[in-house]
C-alpha cells in the first residue's frame, strides 16, 4: 500500500505520512491538528465530521484518506478568510444557532456545500440537504434561520 | 464573617495567607492560582451556611485543598481585566454567557473585559455539579453578590485614595469616576502593583431587575466565534506532547468476566502498552488506529451472566422492588382517603403508562486526557461534575483529592448524561501504565452502551371524578423516579408513591429526570378524563388549577396556539399539557398530522409558554426551550434502547433514531417575564410538556390513546390500543 504523503487542505499543500486506509477525519485531526471536524458516530450518520472535498460535503469519518488524491479539502478552519467570518458563520452567530457547538462545524460545511450548488434553496431543499446532520441540542430551527439569513446576505438582500 | 476581617477588610495576601483565622489548607492549586492572578484586587465571597451553601462552597469528604466556605472568587487585574471563577461547567446551556452578563451587570464593566474560569478543580470553588437547573438560582446570585462586592470595594478604595466622599464616585463601563475632581481610573488601576485581597460575606447592594442593563438582554454567546470557526478545543480535541491514544477492551455484554483473554499479539505491536488490572483491559498506542488495531488483536472470551431483555422489562420492573435509599428511595405523598373517594366516584379511570430507557447521546462522546506528574494527576474531561470526578479519581488511584486536578473544557453537551468519570479513570489508568499522557475518546457505540440511561418506568394511575370534580388521584411510579411526581391539580384525596425497583440497565440523570415520565402519565390521564367527561381538556385543567403561575403559562400557550379556534381536519389533531418543575412553569400545545400511507406521526407545530421568574437572557432562554422541545420529540415519538441479555441491540445512530431537521415542527415560544420573581433555571422543565401534548394530539387526530413512550416508534398501530 502506498502511503499518503500529502493532502491539499484549506488552500495549502500539507505533508503527511499516512496509511491510506485511515479515515480522512483521523488524519485531519491527529496528524494536521485540524480538530474542527468532529467524531460523532464513525458511520456517516451524524455529519459532525463533514468537510468539503472539491466543494462537496463529505463525511470524513467514512472516507479513507487514500481516496482523496489531489482533491481540495476545506475544513471549518479554512472557511473564514483573513480573519473575516464567512456569511454563514456570521449568520450562525447572529441567530445563536448553536448551544454546545459540537455539531456546528459540520452544519456550516454542509450548508456551505448546499449553497454552492443552489444559491436560493427552498426550505424543503435545505431540510433535505441538512437532514444527515444531527444536533442533539436541537437548534435545528435556528440553523434553518441562519442558512436563510446567509442566503439573503449572499443575494445582497437586507440583513 | 469573623470580627477580624470586618475590622480590616483589605488585606495583603501575605498576611492573608498567614492569617490563622483562615481554616484553609491550600496546596499547590491555590499558589498556582495566585501566581496566575498577578497584581490587582482579589475578592473572595464567603458563603454563610445558607441554602446556597448546599450547592456550592461546601463539599463532603476530607482532605480539602480549597477554601471550604469560599463559594466564588473574582480577580480584577491592574489593566482592568476581570476573571471570575466558578465550579459550574459549560455544556451548551450558555451558562458562560449568563454568568458573564451578571458579573458585567454588577461590576459595571464591558462584557469582553471578563473571563470566566469554569470547572477547574484547582482554580474554581467547589461545586456539586452542573445539573438540576441550579446554575441560575444558585450561581447567578453568588456571582452577582461577588461582583457587587467587588464594585463596592473599588468604590471604598477610590474614596480612600482620592480622599473624596464615596457617594460622589461612580462606576461606569469599567471606569471609576469622581466627576467633581475630574478624577477617573480603570477598575484595576487603583491596586497599583499590589495584590489586594478582600473577603466579603455581607450582602452588598445589588442592581434591581428594573435597572438591569446587561442582564435581561439577549447577549450573544460570549465566545461564539471560537465555535463557528472550529477553534474551540473540546476535550476530544486536546493533544499533549508525547500523548498516546487509549482504547478499552469491552466485554461482549454487561457484567462480563473474561473466561480467557489473550493479549500476546497486541503486546507484540510496536509502541503499544496493554494494561490488564482486574476486569480493566485497555491499550495505549501512538495513534488512534494503532490503538484500534491492538484492541482488535486481543482475543477475549467473556462469560456474560443471564440478564433481563427489553421484552420482559415492564414485568420485571413491577416485580422487583428494592430497598434503595436517598433520592432513589421510596417516597410518597398522601392526603385524604383515595379508597373512600374512589368508592364515591361516579367516574373511575385506571390506566397504566410505560416509559422506555433512552440514551442521552451527547454528540461529543465521553472523552478524557490524563497526565501524571509524579504522584499528581491532571485530567481534562467533559463532565458535569468536575469535583465529583476528582473524588472518583482520588478514590480509584488512592490519592489525596488535592493531588488530583480535573479541568473541564467547554463540553459537547451532557443533558444529565455526563455526571460520571469513566473515561477519566480509564485514561488515567492507561497513562499511569504508559508513563505518558493518554487521550481516550469513547466511540459512539461505547457511549450508547457503557454510559447510563434515562430510567425506564411503569406508572399506574387510578382516578375518580364526582360530579365533574376530580376527587381521587392515586399514582404509582415504578423505577423511573420521583421528580415531578406530585400533581399540581387540586385533588382532595391523593396517594402518590415512587417505588424504587431493580433496574436491568445502568440508569441515571437525564434532562428533567423522571418529571418527563410523571408529566406524561399525569397529563395524558387528565386528557383521558376530560375526554370521558366530554369537556375541553384546557377547561378541565384550568378548573382544577389553583396555581396562578401554572394557569398563566397554560393560558398563554393556548392563546398563542389558537386553542379555542382549532379546527378538526382529517388526520390532524391538537393536544395540550402543562407542568411545573425546578422552579419553571411550562404550558405546551402540539399539533400533529398522521401521514395516512405509513401511519407516521408528524409533529407540525408546537407552542410553548414558559415562565421562570426574571429572565436573564431572553434569546438563550428561548434557545433552551426550543432545544428541549426538539430533543423531547425523540423520547416522545421514537427513541428507545433495545437490549437483550446484557447487550444493547441499537447502539448506533443508524439504529437509534434521534430527532433530525425533518422531524422539527414549527416552534413558537412565549416567554412570560416575571421581574418580580427570582430567576430559576430553564434547561430542563420545557421538555416535560412535549410528550403528553403530542400523545393527546394523536388521540385528537385519530382516536388512538397511546400510553407508552415512545409513542410511535414504527408509526401508529392499526387499531385502537387499550
The predicted-structure confidence for B337-363, as pLDDT tens digits, reads as follows 999 999 999 999 999 999 999 999 999
The stretch B707-712 carries a mean pLDDT of 98
pLDDT at B471 over 90: yes
C-alpha to C-alpha distance for B344 and B471, rounded to whole angstroms: 9
**Mean pLDDT to the nearest integer, B16-30:** 30
> Which of A30, A98, A136 faces B631 most closely, judged by CB atoms?
A136
Strands, E assignment, B164-288: 169-172, 175-178, 183-186, 195-200, 244-248, 257-262, 273-277, 280-285
Q: How many CA atoms lie within 13 A of A67 on its CB side?
A: 14
Check residues B706 and B720 and name the one with the higher pLDDT: B706
Residue B193 has pLDDT above 90, yes or no: no
Residue B62 confidence (pLDDT): 31
The model's pTM is 0.93
**pLDDT value at residue B59:** 41
Residue B143 neighbours by CB under 8 Å, 6+ apart: B72, B74, B84, B86, B99, B102, B103
Chain B nearest-CA residue for A107: B228
Could you give the 3-state DSSP secondary structure of residue B244? strand
- Asked if A74 is an interface residue toward chain B (Cβ–Cβ < 8 A), one would say no
Beta bridge partners of B171: B176
pLDDT at B711 over 90: yes
Cα separations (Å) of B448 from A49, B230, B438, B456? Answer: 19, 26, 22, 15
Q: Which of residues 54-73 of A touch B (CB under 8 A)?
A: none
B592/B703 Cα distance (integer angstroms):
13
B377-391, B585-599, B708-722: lowest mean pLDDT where?
Answer: B708-722
Measured between beta carbons, the chain A residues lying within 8 angstroms of B664 are 138, 140-141
Order across the sheet with B175-178: list the strands: B169-172, B175-178, B183-186
**Mean of all residue pLDDT scores within chain B:** 89
Q: Helix A87-94 crosses helix A104-117 at what angle (to 10 degrees)?
A: 130
Flag whether pLDDT at B65 surpasses 60: no
C-alpha distance from A139 to closest chain B C-alpha (Å): 6
pLDDT of residue B720: 47
Name which residue leads in pLDDT, A109 or B146: A109
Chain B, residues 637-656, CB within 8 A of chain A, namely 652-654
Mean pLDDT of the A129-134 span: 98
**Predicted local distance difference test score (pLDDT) of residue B26:** 31
**Confidence band (pLDDT; 50, 70, 90) for B53?**
very low
Chain B (201-260) residues lying within 8 Å, Cβ to Cβ, of chain A: 218, 220-221, 224-225, 227-234, 236-237, 239, 245
pLDDT of residue B271: 96
C-alpha span between B522 and B417 (Å, rounded): 25
Q: Which residues in chain B have Cβ-Cβ distances shorter than 8 Å to A75?
A: 230
| Minimal CA separation from B138 to chain A, in Å | 21
Of A29, A36, A43, the CB nearest to B652: A43
B50 phi and psi angles, rounded to 5 deg: -105, 175
Return the number of CB contacts < 8 Å for A and B: 172
Kindly report, residue by residue over B297-327, the tens digit of the pLDDT.
999 999 999 999 999 999 999 999 998 766 6
Instruction: Check CB contact under 8 Å for A30 and B239.
Output: yes
Low-confidence winner among B13-22, B192-201, B317-326 (lowest mean pLDDT): B13-22
Interface contact A96-B220, CB threshold 8 A: yes
Q: Which residues of A touch B247 (CB under 8 A)?
A: none
Distance CA B242, CA B130 (A): 32
The average pLDDT across B384-405 equals 95
Judge whether residue A13 has pLDDT over 50: yes
Which residue from B52, B143, B158, B153 is spatially nearest to B106, judged by alpha carbons? B143
pLDDT in tens, A86-96: 999 999 999 99
- Contact present, B338 and A12 (Cβ < 8 Å): no
pLDDT digits (tens, 9 = 90+) for B511-548: 999 999 999 999 999 999 999 999 999 999 999 999 99
Q: How confident is the model at residue B595 (pLDDT cuts 50, 70, 90)?
A: confident
pLDDT at B12 over 60: no
Confidence of residue B18 (pLDDT cuts 50, 70, 90): very low
pLDDT of residue B191: 83
Q: Does A89 touch chain B (CB under 8 A)?
A: yes
Amino acid at each position: 500500500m502506498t502511503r499518503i504523503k500529502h493532502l491539499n487542505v484549506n488552500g495549502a499543500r500539507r505533508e503527511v505520512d499516512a496509511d491510506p486506509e485511515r479515515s480522512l477525519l483521523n488524519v485531519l485531526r491527529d496528524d494536521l491538528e485540524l480538530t474542527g471536524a468532529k467524531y460523532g458516530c464513525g458511520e456517516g450518520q451524524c455529519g459532525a465530521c463533514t468537510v468539503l472535498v472539491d466543494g462537496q460535503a463529505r463525511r470524513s469519518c467514512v472516507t479513507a484518506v487514500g481516496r482523496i488524491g489531489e482533491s481540495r479539502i476545506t475544513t471549518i478552519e479554512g472557511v473564514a478568510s483573513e480573519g473575516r467570518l464567512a456569511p454563514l458563520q456570521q449568520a450562525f452567530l447572529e441567530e445563536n444557532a448553536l448551544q454546545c457547538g459540537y455539531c456546528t462545524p459540520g452544519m456550516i460545511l454542509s450548508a456551505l456545500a448546499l449553497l454552492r450548488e443552489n444559491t436560493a434553496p427552498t426550505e424543503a431543499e435545505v431540510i433535505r440537504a441538512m437532514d444527515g446532520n444531527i444536533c442533539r441540542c436541537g437548534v435545528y430551527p435556528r440553523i434553518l434561520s441562519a442558512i436563510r439569513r446567509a442566503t439573503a446576505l449572499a443575494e445582497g438582500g437586507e440583513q | 464573617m469573623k470580627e477580624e476581617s470586618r475590622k480590616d477588610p483589605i488585606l495583603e495576601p501575605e498576611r492573608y495567607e498567614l492569617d490563622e483565622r483562615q481554616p484553609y489548607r491550600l496546596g499547590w492549586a491555590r499558589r498556582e492560582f495566585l501566581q496566575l492572578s498577578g497584581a490587582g484586587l482579589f475578592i473572595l465571597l464567603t458563603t454563610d451556611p445558607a441554602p446556597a451553601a448546599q450547592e456550592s462552597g461546601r463539599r463532603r469528604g476530607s482532605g480539602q485543598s480549597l477554601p471550604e466556605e469560599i463559594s466564588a472568587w473574582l480577580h480584577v487585574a491592574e489593566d482592568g481585566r476581570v476573571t471570575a471563577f466558578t465550579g459550574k461547567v459549560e455544556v451548551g446551556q450558555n451558562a458562560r454567557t449568563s454568568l458573564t452578563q451578571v458579573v458585567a451587570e454588577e461590576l459595571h464593566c464591558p462584557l469582553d473585559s471578563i473571563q470566566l474560569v469554569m470547572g477547574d478543580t484547582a482554580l474554581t470553588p467547589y461545586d456539586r455539579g452542573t445539573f438540576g437547573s441550579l446554575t441560575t438560582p444558585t450561581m447567578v446570585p453568588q456571582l452577582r453578590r461577588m461582583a457587587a462586592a467587588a464594585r463596592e470595594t473599588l468604590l471604598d478604595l477610590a474614596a480612600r485614595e482620592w480622599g473624596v466622599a464615596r457617594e460622589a464616585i461612580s462606576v461606569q463601563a469599567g471606569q471609576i469616576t469622581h466627576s467633581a475632581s475630574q478624577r477617573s481610573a480603570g477598575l484595576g488601576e487603583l491596586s497599583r502593583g499590589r495584590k489586594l485581597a478582600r473577603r466579603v460575606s455581607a450582602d452588598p447592594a445589588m442592581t434591581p431587575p428594573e435597572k438591569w442593563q446587561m442582564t435581561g438582554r439577549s447577549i450573544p454567546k460570549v465566545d461564539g466565534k471560537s465555535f463557528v470557526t472550529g477553534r474551540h478545543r473540546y476535550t476530544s480535541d486536546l493533544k499533549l506532547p508525547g500523548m498516546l491514544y487509549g482504547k478499552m477492551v469491552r466485554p461482549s455484554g454487561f457484567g462480563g468476566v473474561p473466561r480467557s483473554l489473550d493479549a500476546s499479539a497486541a503486546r507484540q505491536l510496536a509502541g503499544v502498552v496493554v494494561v490488564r488490572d482486574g476486569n480493566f483491559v485497555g491499550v495505549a498506542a501512538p495513534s488512534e488506529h494503532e490503538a484500534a488495531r491492538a484492541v482488535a488483536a486481543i482475543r477475549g472470551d467473556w462469560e456474560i451472566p443471564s440478564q433481563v431483555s427489553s421484552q420482559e422489562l415492564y414485568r420485571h420492573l413491577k416485580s422487583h422492588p428494592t430497598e434503595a435509599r436517598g433520592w432513589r428511595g421510596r417516597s410518597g405523598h398522601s392526603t385524604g382517603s383515595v379508597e373512600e373517594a374512589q368508592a364515591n366516584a361516579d367516574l373511575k379511570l385506571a390506566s397504566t403508562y410505560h416509559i422506555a430507557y433512552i440514551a442521552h447521546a451527547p454528540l461529543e462522546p465521553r472523552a478524557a486526557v490524563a497526565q501524571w506528574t509524579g504522584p499528581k494527576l491532571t485530567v481534562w474531561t467533559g463532565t458535569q461534575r468536575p469535583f465529583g470526578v476528582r473524588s472518583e479519581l482520588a478514590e480509584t488511584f488512592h490519592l489525596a483529592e488535592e493531588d488530583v486536578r480535573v479541568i473541564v473544557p467547554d463540553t459537547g453537551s451532557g443533558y444529565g448524561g455526563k455526571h460520571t468519570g469513566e473515561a477519566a479513570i480509564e485514561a488515567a489508568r492507561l497513562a499511569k501504565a504508559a508513563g505518558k499522557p493518554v487521550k481516550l475518546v469513547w466511540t459512539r457505540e461505547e457511549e450508547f452502551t457503557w454510559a447510563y440511561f434515562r430510567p425506564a418506568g411503569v406508572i399506574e394511575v387510578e382516578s375518580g371524578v364526582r360530579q365533574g370534580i376530580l376527587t381521587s388521584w392515586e399514582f404509582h411510579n415504578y423505577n423511573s423516579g420521583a421528580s415531578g411526581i406530585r400533581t399540581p391539580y387540586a385533588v382532595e384525596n391523593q396517594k402518590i408513591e415512587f417505588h424504587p425497583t431493580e433496574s436491568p440497565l445502568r440508569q441515571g440523570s437525564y434532562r428533567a429526570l423522571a418529571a418527563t415520565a410523571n408529566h406524561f402519565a399525569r397529563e395524558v390521564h387528565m386528557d383521558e378524563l376530560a375526554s370521558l367527561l366530554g369537556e375541553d381538556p384546557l377547561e378541565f385543567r384550568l378548573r382544577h388549577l389553583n396555581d396562578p403561575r401554572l394557569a398563566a403559562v397554560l393560558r398563554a400557550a393556548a392563546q398563542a396556539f389558537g386553542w379555542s379556534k382549532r379546527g378538526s381536519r382529517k388526520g390532524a389533531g391538537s393536544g395540550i399539557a402543562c407542568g411545573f418543575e425546578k422552579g419553571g412553569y411550562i404550558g405546551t400545545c402540539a399539533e400533529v398530522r398522521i401521514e395516512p400511507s405509513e401511519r407516521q406521526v408528524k409533529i407540525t407545530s408546537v407552542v410553548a409558554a414558559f415562565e421562570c421568574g426574571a429572565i436573564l437572557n431572553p434569546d438563550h432562554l428561548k434557545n433552551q426551550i426550543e432545544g428541549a422541545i426538539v430533543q423531547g420529540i425523540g423520547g416522545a415519538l421514537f427513541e428507545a434502547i433495545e437490549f437483550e441479555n446484557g447487550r444493547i441491540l441499537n447502539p448506533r445512530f443508524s439504529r437509534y433514531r434521534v430527532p433530525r431537521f425533518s422531524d422539527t415542527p414549527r416552534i413558537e415560544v412565549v416567554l412570560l417575564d416575571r421581574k418580580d420573581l427570582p430567576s430559576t433555571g430553564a434547561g430542563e422543565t420545557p421538555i416535560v410538556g412535549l410528550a403528553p401534548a403530542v400523545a393527546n394530539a394523536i388521540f385528537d387526530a385519530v382516536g388512538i390513546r397511546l400510553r407508552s413512550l415512545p409513542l410511535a416508534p414504527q408509526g401508529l398501530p392499526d387499531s385502537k390500543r387499550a
